[in-house]
Amino acid sequence: MAIVITLTNQKGGVGKTTTSSALAAGLASFYDKKVLAIDLDPQGSLGFSLGLNIEDCSSIYDVLTGKTSIREAIQTTDYCDIITSNILLSGAELEFTSADRELLLKKALAPVLQDYDYVIIDTPPALNILTLNAYAAADHLIIPMAPEVLSLLGVTQLRETINSVRQTVNKGLDILGIVLTRFNGRTLLAREVKEMAESVAGQMGTKVFDRQIRASVAVAEAPAHGSSVYDHSPKCNSSQDYKAFVDEVLARTSGMKNNFQEVR
């Protein structure tokens, strides 16, 4: 059964979608894992980044609203399977009003979890009903953050939400780690934020990933070509860093049982 990993940070611009794409593509390409990526961000950037025409297929919105089954919404890319998103999801806060609205994604995923090794969920930069659905469905959270004080503040603000989710809809939710993106170890700010992130991680019962993701223009270029950063520029710093990050994720999740329980 699949291990479900949600990437989250309420602060935008921290490389969350880029990291989701790199993780999904890396697990599939380097380790031959069967991966399903799910885009819960109404901007739909994850599907675009992996080379999918997001205007010409069913979306996660169609799944969550019962307009199509999850199997019908799954699209295949060169790297992994994916369920894309679109702007219709932006109305989820008002549209999803049922008593179990935090469990819509978990219920939808149930029929396909046996088909995959990993499910990677990209979330919007907000703590809303979409993010709560991603937390409820996840075994693990990964928190990407840039080496900036405001990004660190976004991480600290997640703690209350995560604790609330553990007390209500997902008591087994685990924080796999914090990954630093756009990292330049030569700057004092980056080094100081890394130290603070390690302290915050300890308070949250997790740790910072050993490999930081250095900035590279290839990261910005790859989505325009619909390819992973590994294929677009395999020798650049970011490709090497993301490969090491994927190695760490695999090592941290190897042998772990997922926390998914049937929703009745």
Burial class (CB in 10 A: 0-12, 13-18, 19+), 10: buried
* Both tokens assigned to 23: 């993780």
Q: What does the pLDDT look like over 32-90, one tens digit per residue?
A: 999 999 999 998 899 888 888 777 789 999 999 999 999 999 999 999 999 999 888 88
Question: What is residue 257's DSSP assignment?
Answer: P
Burial class (CB in 10 A: 0-12, 13-18, 19+), 88: middle
**Residue 75 near residue 81, CB atoms below 8 Å:** yes
Q: Which amino acid is at 243?
A: K
- 3-state DSSP call for residue 223? helix
Letter string b/e over residues 204-215, b meaning 16 or more CB atoms within 10 A of that residue's CB:
bebebbebbbbb
d(CA 196, CA 147): 10
Question: Is the C-alpha dihedral spanning 35, 243, 229, 191 positive or negative?
Answer: positive
* pLDDT of 256: 59
Specify the pTM. Answer: 0.93
Q: Count of residues for the chain?
A: 264
Question: Among residues 11, 58, 66, which one has the least CA distance to residue 197?
Answer: 11
Q: What does the pLDDT look like over 161-216, one tens digit per residue?
A: 999 999 999 999 999 999 999 999 999 999 999 999 999 999 999 999 999 999 88
* pLDDT of 262: 40
Question: Among residues 216, 176, 207, 249, which one has the least CA distance to residue 26?
Answer: 249
d(CA 42, CA 55): 12
Q: What does the pLDDT look like over 128-146, one tens digit per residue?
A: 999 999 999 999 999 999 9
d(CA 163, CA 152): 18
pLDDT at 258 over 60: no
